Amino acid sequence: MTEHAVVISGAGPTGLMLAGELALAGIDVAIVERRPDQQLFGTRAGGLSARTLEVFDQRGIVDRFLAAGQIAQVTGFAVTRLDISDFPTRHNYGLALRQKHIERILAGWVDELSVPIYRGRDVTSFVEDETGITVHLSDGGATLRARYLVGCDGGRSLVRKAAGIAFEGWDATTGNILAEVEMEEEPPLGVHRTALGIYAFGREDYEIRNGKVIFASDGPVNVMVPDGNAGATTEPTLDDLKQALIAAFGKDYGIHGLKWISRFTDMSRQATAYRKGRVFLAGDAAHVHSPVGGQGLNTGVQDAVNLAWKLAQVIKGTSPDALLDTYHAERHPIAARVLRTTMAQVALLRTDDRTEALRDIMMELLGMDEPRKRIAAEMSGLAIHYDLGEGHPLLGRRMPDLDLTTSEGPARVFTLLHNARPVLLVLDGSGSFDIAPWSDDVALVHARYDGPWELPALGPVSAPSAVLIRPDGYVAWVSDGTQDGLEDAMKTWFGPPS
């Protein structure tokens, strides 16, 4: 039996990000993945939000994604694009990039960190005991032993079901069929609103010019059509696509050569618990919803970043087990809000006259500065706020990536987080901060910053004299000019003094 500290089921973006974060923290982690390689068929997530780009920047890998994707103002709410170019972040945009490329880049990073992946295998069952968990795999009775198991195995998660965690929410009301096909006749590329629903034609290769998507002039076509059977349990067929096209356009454009086909709906469900004993859920295993708004993959990646450093500290013995409960406490409300905003967007995509009237009003509202900023900050992930108590507006929010001046020269805040280690950043010139009991785990950095302090949607905030930054980039303590509360914050997040 092979032993690891953590076993992750699923090598999608969430599982890969979690594995990379744990490996950076020095934790022995392994992934179990049913696919024999990282190849991904089908069109799934199509981009990265501003906050996810910041998360990758915090680990020094964002340039890999920027080189492969296309920067654009892709943040939106239903049919309304929301410009975030005036937001105070280095990444005041989204990145158009297919999920298969996101996974490829993350898999390369994880490989550099020497994380083993057991490919071509499934987790079939597991047994938890007082000291760990025994994970059974599909290849002839092989088993792994771990202290913790994390299910990153999608909406049909075996880990979630085997753990007995309820998946509550709303059944599907609408459905769509996605496919990649050949067409004898060129279809009208782009998105089309019809009385029957929304239809879309595109190609894998495209460019974004002046905010518009320009598709390649030849090659297979990605097709999305409405599916009248939202509750279907069987796979759609090529004939289903033909009939949907004929109903809307009067012809099927000579559709043939089906490459792949799948169905998605607006079913919205969330795990009632993200933790049960030694089992955790992240990504689609913890929450599913319509892809409208593009928040699914991004929410999963940020689940992983929130959970990893907490697991690492408990495994190392620096923090008590209770720290792991903050994963559910912080991330469950975030995904619950994502479900609600996604359901609202699906409602706005209906094509009846009353919904058209509502959508017109929403577009007017989102054309105003304050509503745009508020909703855009939420959709881009830049408004995430963990409830860490009352105090400075920075508390519980992402730390801005400031340009600092240190004794060793210029530095950015995000470069201080590349090794996934917490940072106490002192900005008032004081040399009196004593964190000796935590000095092996928390970096103490003295720096000067002369620019403005501003948060997306909130605007300017007062300059703190010191901030305690967690490994995930969120602020755990803010100085009011004194060290009041610092020791308590250190104990809460990084364990008792050693």
pLDDT in tens, 302-327: 999 999 999 999 999 999 999 999 99
Nearest to 54 by CA among 387, 455, 486: 455
pTM of the full structure: 0.94
pLDDT-flagged residues of the chain (< 50)? none
Output the pLDDT for position 43.
54
For residues 50 and 66, what is the distance between their CA atoms, to the nearest angstrom? 12
3-state SS, residue 136: strand
**C-alpha to C-alpha distances, 104 to 39, 137, 146, 219, 252, nearest whole angstrom:** 8, 24, 26, 22, 34
For residues 479 and 467, what is the distance between their CA atoms, to the nearest angstrom? 6
For residues 135 and 143, what is the distance between their CA atoms, to the nearest angstrom? 5
Domains (range + CATH), the chain: 2-169+269-379 (3.50.50.60), 176-265 (3.30.70.2450), 403-494 (3.40.30.120)
Output the pLDDT for position 44.
60
For residues 87 and 50, what is the distance between their CA atoms, to the nearest angstrom? 10
134: burial class by Cβ within 10 Å (0-12, 13-18, 19+)?
A: middle
For residues 437 and 423, what is the distance between their CA atoms, to the nearest angstrom? 14
Output the pLDDT for position 342.
96
**Tokens read off for 468:** 């305690």
Give the model confidence (pLDDT) of 148-174 as tens digits: 999 999 999 999 999 999 999 999 998
String of DSSP letters for 418-434: TT---EEEE-SS-----
Nearest to 2 by CA among 29, 36, 37, 35: 29
For the stretch 451-479, what's the b/e string if a residue is b when 16 or more beta carbons lie within 10 angstroms of its beta carbon? eebebbbbeebeebbbbbbbbbbbbbbbb
Output the pLDDT for position 194.
86
Nearest to 380 by CA among 13, 12, 82, 66: 82
Output the pLDDT for position 433.
81
182: burial class by Cβ within 10 Å (0-12, 13-18, 19+)?
A: middle
Which stretches does DSSP call E strand in 247-387?
A: 255-265, 268-271, 275-276, 279-281, 287-288
Output the pLDDT for position 45.
61
For the stretch 338-369, what's the b/e string if a residue is b when 16 or more beta carbons lie within 10 angstroms of its beta carbon? bbebbbebbbbbbeeeeeeeebeebeeebeee
For residues 427 and 425, what is the distance between their CA atoms, to the nearest angstrom? 6
| Helices H / strands E in the chain, number of each | 11, 31
